[in-house]
Structure 1
Amino acid sequence: MKKSLIALAALSAAAGAANAQTSVTLYGVIDTGIEYVNRVATAPKTLSPTLAGEAPVGKRFGLSGNGGLSASRWGLRGVEDLGGGLKAYFTLESQFTPDTGLFAGNTGIFNRQAYVGLGNAYGKITFGKQYSSLAEGMLNFSPTRAAPAYEPGVWWLGINYRPANTIKYKGEFGAVSATAHYSFGAGVGLTSLSPSGVLYNGGTGETPGAARDNTAWGASLAYVNKQFGVGIGYDQWNPASTVGNPGKVRKAGIAGSYSVGPTKLIAGYRWGDQTYANGRSAMRDDYWFAGVSYRVNAALDLQLAYFYSNIKQIALSSGSASVNPANPQQVSFVADYALSKRTDVYLTTAWAHNGSLANDGPFTGYLFNYAHAPGQKNMIGAMVGVRHIF
């Protein structure tokens, strides 16, 4: 009997040690608010060279599915210590719209991230749907912390900033991080974009006999400490609207930040060049941004940002004439008040000139529902909301 008790105690201790080396975490964010937009159009059924929406046009007031500060999501992440410094990792993450409870974009359950991998002191190699290298290198320098309501984040990083079918390396060495990725087929589903000849119409790639279709690759390098940060990155995607005829979407960016006491300054630049399979330009643009954040006290944080897009030329199909539209620009302001470490309330507002809020349009898939009307010069949006992190 005594030996049986000793054996049972030994087994319990071994199980406890194994559990201590393995962890699975449930996490998430729910963010929604009441939004007012002064003048917004419906997304067009057919895209026109004016890049404008269609009637009806008017004010919009109601609950927002975008989230004022963060995209609403839930996920599972886990890590297992395999011994000898080797660990196994996984992440499953789903984005949803809190006003309806539906998955974002009517996509699959783990529409945001779904990957597994191995890592040690020299870095991690992961496989699945995950952030691109450009996103990894740039997101630390987002002027309003990638707030989905009004920051032109998809315009900045590309609609493929979370490619599927991806193998990625990421290494973190103190303040330095390095990332590189390759996607066998980015698999971008544009459920809210009209199929009218725009460069990318989704597709998972991995097509027999057309190995280059929808492939993507990139790399980035960043240095971030408590006072200073700088990042640089490149991303290329080869979307194919028809099998065997890939186009080319290329983006390169550089950004930096500097903190002094409660104040943080951020600025950056992104070069972009997108071409159809026949070599004609779909869009050539330069994107600039700058911002400042100020922590008033332990609870209140203020952010002010400016975004400017120099659109040199756009053609919405491989056979249409290029146009040179007026350059969009936007000013955003965020006031975020923390009620606790996990719950905050906020006001976010933005003014856009010569375009839509968040630069929403055909090259962002109208994902944010801010299409502007023909001849419209200005658009104003404001949202008050609550965010809870769990």
Structure 2
Amino acid sequence: MKIQKLSAVVALATIGYSAQAFAQSSVTLYGLIDAGINFTSNVQTARPASGPQGNHQYSFQDGATGGIRGSRWGIRGVEDLGGGLKAVFVLENGFSIGNGALAQGGAEFGRQAFVGLQSSYGTLTLGRQYDSVVDYTQLFQSGAQWAGYMGAHAGDVDNALNTRRINNAVKFASNDYSGLRFGGLYSFGGVPGSVSRNQVWSLGGGYTHGPFGLGMAYLNARNPNLGFYGSNPNNGTTAASNNLGSLGSATTPESNPIYAGYASASTLQIISAAGSYQIGSATLGLTYSNVQFRGLGSTSGPNPLGYTGNARFNNVEVNGRYQLTPAWLAGIAYIYTNASGAENRSGALYHQLQAGSDYFLSKRTDVYFIVVYQHASGTDSLGQPAVAYLTGQTPSASNHQLALRIGITHRF
């Protein structure tokens, strides 16, 4: 009888210990769906000898191409290892709500996929991750707040709206020290005999205190046509397959005329700084980024125009957001982009004005409206008269383009 009682006690203790162990670990399934209807003017349909042809377009679009947020589902987990140390992981998939297709070039977990350790100092992770520009300056842009992907700086040339993720990356993100955060990322190029080829690294930091916020970041990508713009699984080694250097033809419009011609750069460098200040229900923001395609004419990608030297982009954004009620906000922003360089054979100006409104029906569901207008002038990276190009849309057939969207987002 004593043996039976002892066995029962041991069994109960074991069950209790197991329950405690499971309580220290958690796995969460989460997701977001963003869908809406877009109107886009002057959509380029072909480029005959007399110039491109354009038509207005009405379309159903997923959030990743025209909305505020890309549709996704993911799994995140944490396990308490004791002594203040935790194991963490995230697997996040992007998809199109219109046809169910995988986003990010068909990657199963194309948005994020990483595992690591979290301590009292910060978090160290390994995998496919966001760079420091996204981590520390994105939140100050209108595109990240209410304007969506169409509201990115010209063609998202500074990647602030996260068009590209970084593969094979080791990343550190500090904890919050009285409003101060900092971190960095390094991606291995993986080329035998050349440590720096195709590598990507970035550093950044941010500070918030009361109504004031500030963020700064730097990114450097070697052979960007492959290591940075070719980061999705179905991207090949040519710029035409990764939306960087598709020069177009009589029947195929350019994929990104703003910087497609700079596919041969040996190095991509991005410097970004942003800040905001809140006054009552209003928040004013200012962002700046300098993007350089350095060493044009390298073996990174095609160079049909024979560019050498460097090409530069300076982006300035002024934005404002007003909280009309706790559930309803409205915003407006102006973006100026100056492109120059490439032996002064190309140079363009892009002026972009956008406004939007977002109303939350509940904590999980909101409806929104966005309008974006862009005007281009000068000569673009492809050596042609600059055309307007709103991120996620088809380039315009002329120097201006207007896009409107009505959408809905639901979180789960």
TM-score by length of 1: 0.82
Tell me by how many angstroms 1:184 deviates.
Answer: 0.7
Task: Give 3-state SS (helix, strand or coil) of 1:371's partner.
Answer: coil
* 1:220-235 correspondence to structure 2 within 5 Å: 220-235=204-219
Task: Give 3-state SS (helix, strand or coil) of 1:103's partner.
Answer: coil
| Distance in 1 separating the partners of 2:66 and 2:331 | 16
The reply on whether 1:33 has 2:40 as its aligned counterpart is no
Task: Give 3-state SS (helix, strand or coil) of 1:328's partner.
Answer: strand
Would the alpha carbon gap of residues 115 and 333 (structure 1) be closer, same or farther in structure 2, given more than 3 Å must change? same
Runs of 4+ in structure 1 displaced over 6 angstroms?
none
Task: Report the equivalent of 1:58.
Answer: 55
Task: Report the equivalent of 1:305.
Answer: 333
| Distance in 2 separating the partners of 1:246 and 1:149 | 25
Matched to 2:90, the amino acid is T
Of 169-178 and 280-289, more deviation after overlay is shown by 280-289
Q: 1:21 aligns with which of 20, 24, 29?
A: 24
Q: Over the residues paired in the alignment, what is the CA RMSD in angstroms? A: 2.8
Task: Report the equivalent of 1:380.
Answer: 402
Tell me by how many angstroms 1:57 deviates.
Answer: 1.5
| Distance in 1 separating the partners of 2:122 and 2:24 | 19
Asked if 2 retains the 8 angstrom alpha-carbon contact of 1:43 and 1:371, the reply is no
| Distance in 2 separating the partners of 1:177 and 1:38 | 42
Tell me by how many angstroms 1:366 deviates.
Answer: 8.9
Would the alpha carbon gap of residues 24 and 281 (structure 1) be closer, same or farther in structure 2, given more than 3 Å must change? farther
Matched to 1:323, the amino acid is S
Task: Report the equivalent of 1:142.
Answer: 141
Task: Report the equivalent of 1:323.
Answer: 346
| Distance in 1 separating the partners of 2:34 and 2:224 | 35
Counting aligned pairs with the same residue, the percent is 30
Task: Report the equivalent of 1:132.
Answer: 131
Tell me by how many angstroms 1:332 deviates.
Answer: 1.1
Matched to 1:266, the amino acid is G
Matched to 1:311, the amino acid is A
* 1:280-359 correspondence to structure 2 within 5 Å: 280-281=308-309, 283-314=311-342, 322-325=345-348, 327-354=349-376
Aligned residues between the structures: 348
Asked if 1 retains the 8 angstrom alpha-carbon contact of 2:66 and 2:393, the reply is no
The reply on whether 1:177 has 2:181 as its aligned counterpart is yes
Tell me by how many angstroms 1:341 deviates.
Answer: 0.2
Tell me by how many angstroms 1:268 deviates.
Answer: 1.1
Q: Deviations over 1:314-344 (max 9, x none)?
A: 58xxxxx83112x111111111111100001
Task: Report the equivalent of 1:257.
Answer: 276
Structure with a larger share of its residues in helix: 2
Matched to 2:6, the amino acid is K
Q: Deviations over 1:142-179 (max 9, x none)?
A: 22425444121532326775210111111022311101
Asked if 1 retains the 8 angstrom alpha-carbon contact of 2:41 and 2:396, the reply is no
Would the alpha carbon gap of residues 171 and 11 (structure 1) be closer, same or farther in structure 2, given more than 3 Å must change? same
Q: 1:214 aligns with which of 192, 198, 202?
A: 198
Tell me by how many angstroms 1:105 deviates.
Answer: 4.2
Task: Extract unaligned runs of 5+ from structure 2.
Answer: 227-236, 238-263, 299-307
| Distance in 2 separating the partners of 1:16 and 1:246 | 56
Matched to 1:5, the amino acid is A
Asked if 2 retains the 8 angstrom alpha-carbon contact of 1:346 and 1:386, the reply is yes
Asked if 2 retains the 8 angstrom alpha-carbon contact of 1:144 and 1:304, the reply is no
Task: Give 3-state SS (helix, strand or coil) of 2:150's partner.
Answer: coil
| Distance in 2 separating the partners of 1:79 and 1:176 | 24
Would the alpha carbon gap of residues 184 and 44 (structure 1) be closer, same or farther in structure 2, given more than 3 Å must change? farther
Would the alpha carbon gap of residues 155 and 241 (structure 1) be closer, same or farther in structure 2, given more than 3 Å must change? closer
Matched to 1:312, the amino acid is S
